[in-house]
C-alpha cells in the first residue's frame, strides 16, 4: 500500500516483544477490573502464583480465587483470542484484496457467520459444539458473495467497490437473520445479547475457540511473506513462481475460519479488523511478516481493554463489548476512508 513505509524485517522481534509486554499489561488490567474489591497487588501475586515454578500467597479467600480463575481469567483470555483473530483476519483480508477498508465486519464474513449461527441456535437445542463449523461456512459464503458481487463492477469500480458490495451483502444477511429470529421469540434476548458481543461465559468458550484459533493463526502467520509478494501485483508474483489464486484461496479460508471462530464464541464485534491493522502499519510498517503477528497481539490487547471498559464504565451494569468497539471504530473508519480517498492508503 502506498504511503505506508515498509520497515526492516530485522526490527520484527523488537516489535513483537514490545507488543507482548503491552498485551500482558492489558490482561493484568483486565483481571483487575470488576465489581469485587480485590486489591491490585493481590491480583498480581495470584497471577504470579499461577505461573510454573512460582509460589506466592496473595491472601485471597477461596471465593476470591474462584472469581479470578473461573470468571475473570477465562474472560480475559477469550477477549484476547477473539480480538487477535479479528484483527489478524482484517489484516489478511486487506492484503488479499489490496483494499485498506476490507474487514471481516464489512466484507460479509461476520454477517454470514452470524446468520448461520442464528439458524443453528433457532433450530438446534444446545448447539455449542456445532457452532464454529457452521459459522465457518457462513463466513466463507459471505466473503465470496461480496467478492463476486464486487467483481461485477470490474476494475472501474475502484477500491471502494468491494466494500460497498460487502455492505450490501451484510445488510441482506442481517435482514435474513432478523427475520429468522422471529420464529423463536423466547430466544430473542439471548440472540440479541450475542449479536452485541459478549466474551464472558467461562472456560468452555476458551476451549471451544482455541483449536480453531490455533489452526487459522498458524496458516495466516506462515503466509505473511506470500502476502508481501502478492502486494506487488499478480503478474510480478507469477514471475516469482507464486500461484496467486491458490495463495489467495488459502488465506481467505484461514481468515474466514478465524472470523467464524471469533463470531461463534463472542458474537458480532465490529471494527477490530480495521482499527488494529492500520495502527500497526503506521507504527511498524507495511510488511505482512510484521503486520500479521502484531495485529494478532495488538487485537488481543485492544479487545481486552474494550471489555474492561464495557465492565466498568457503567458498573455494576455492563455495556455490550460491541458497543464499545463501535464507539472507537466508527470515527476511526471515517478517518481511514478519508485517507483512502486521498490516496494515502491505496
Residue spans per domain, the chain: 9-103+201-341
| Average pLDDT score over residue span 251-259 | 91
| Average pLDDT score over residue span 21-42 | 86
Closest CA to 33 of 43, 20, 21, 48: 43
pLDDT grade for 192, boundaries at 50, 70 and 90: confident
Instruction: Supply angle C-alpha 68, 71, 75, rounded to 5.
Output: 110
pLDDT at residue number 219: 95
Interval 69-79: pLDDT, tens: 898 999 999 99
* CA atoms in the 13 A half-sphere facing the CB of 64: 18
Per the CB < 8 A criterion, the answer to whether 226 and 242 are in contact is: yes
- First vs last Cα of the chain: how many Å apart? 5
Interval 263-273: pLDDT, tens: 888 888 888 99
Task: Answer whether residue 340 shows pLDDT above 90.
Answer: no
pLDDT at residue number 1: 46
Closest CA to 87 of 238, 288, 235, 232: 288
What percentage of the chain exceeds 70 in pLDDT? 89
Angle between the N-to-C axes of helices 12-32 and 288-312, in degrees from 0 to 180, rounded to the nearest 10: 10
pLDDT at residue number 157: 52
Q: Under 8 Å CB-to-CB from 265, ≥6 apart: which residues?
A: 78, 82, 131, 132, 199, 201, 205, 208, 209
224 vs 185, which has greater pLDDT?
224
| Average pLDDT score over residue span 13-40 | 87
Q: Under 8 Å CB-to-CB from 189, ≥6 apart: which residues?
A: none
pLDDT grade for 132, boundaries at 50, 70 and 90: confident
**Domain 9-103+201-341, second-level architecture:** Orthogonal Bundle (1.10)
Cα(284)–Cα(286) distance, rounded to whole angstroms? 7
Task: Answer whether residue 33 shows pLDDT above 70.
Answer: yes
Whole-model pTM: value is 0.86
Cα(151)–Cα(171) distance, rounded to whole angstroms? 18
Interval 134-167: pLDDT, tens: 888 888 888 888 888 877 765 555 556 777 888 8
Angle between the N-to-C axes of helices 321-341 and 288-312, in degrees from 0 to 180, rounded to the nearest 10: 140
Closest CA to 298 of 18, 23, 3, 14: 23
Cα(57)–Cα(3) distance, rounded to whole angstroms? 52
Task: Answer whether residue 5 shows pLDDT above 60.
Answer: no
Amino acid at each position: 500500500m502506498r504511503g505506508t513505509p515498509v520497515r526492516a524485517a530485522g526490527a520484527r522481534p523488537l516489535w513483537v516483544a514490545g507488543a507482548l509486554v503491552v498485551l500482558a499489561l492489558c490482561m493484568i488490567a483486565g483481571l483487575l477490573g470488576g465489581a469485587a474489591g480485590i486489591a491490585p497487588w493481590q491480583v498480581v501475586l495470584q497471577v504470579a502464583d499461577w505461573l510454573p515454578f512460582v509460589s506466592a500467597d496473595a491472601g485471597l479467600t477461596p471465593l476470591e480465587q474462584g472469581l479470578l480463575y473461573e470468571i475473570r481469567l477465562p474472560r480475559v483470555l477469550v477477549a484476547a483470542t477473539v480480538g487477535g483473530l479479528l484483527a489478524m483476519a482484517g489484516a489478511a483480508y486487506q492484503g488479499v484484496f489490496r483494499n485498506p477498508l476490507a474487514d471481516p465486519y464489512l466484507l460479509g464474513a461476520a454477517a454470514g457467520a452470524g446468520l448461520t449461527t442464528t439458524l443453528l441456535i433457532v433450530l438446534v437445542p444446545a448447539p455449542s459444539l456445532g457452532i464454529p463449523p457452521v459459522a465457518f461456512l457462513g463466513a466463507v459464503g459471505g466473503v465470496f458473495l461480496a467478492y463476486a458481487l464486487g467483481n461485477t463492477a470490474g476494475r472501474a469500480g475502484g477500491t471502494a467497490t468491494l466494500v460497498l458490495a460487502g455492505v450490501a451483502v451484510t445488510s441482506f444477511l442481517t435482514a435474513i437473520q432478523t427475520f429468522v429470529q422471529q420464529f423463536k421469540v423466547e430466544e430473542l434476548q439471548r440472540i440479541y445479547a450475542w449479536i452485541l458481543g459478549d466474551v464472558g461465559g467461562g472456560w468452555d468458550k476458551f476451549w471451544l475457540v482455541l483449536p480453531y484459533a490455533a489452526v487459522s493463526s498458524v496458516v495466516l502467520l506462515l503466509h505473511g511473506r506470500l502476502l508481501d509478494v502478492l502486494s506487488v501485483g499478480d503478474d510480478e508474483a507469477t514471475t516469482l513462481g507464486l500461484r496467486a489464486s491458490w495463495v489467495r484461496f488459502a488465506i481467505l479460508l484461514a481468515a474466514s475460519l478465524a472470523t467464524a471462530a471469533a463470531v461463534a464464541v463472542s458474537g458480532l464485534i465490529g471494527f477490530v479488523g480495521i482499527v488494529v491493522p492500520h495502527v500497526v502499519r503506521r507504527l511498524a510498517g507495511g510488511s505482512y511478516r510484521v503486520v500479521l503477528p502484531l495485529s494478532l497481539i495488538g487485537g488481543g490487547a485492544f479487545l481486552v481493554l474494550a471489555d474492561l471498559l464495557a465492565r466498568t464504565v457503567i458498573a455494576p451494569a455492563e455495556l455490550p463489548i460491541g458497543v464499545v468497539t463501535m464507539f472507537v471504530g466508527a470515527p476511526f473508519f471515517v478517518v481511514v476512508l478519508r485517507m483512502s480517498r486521498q490516496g494515502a492508503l491505496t
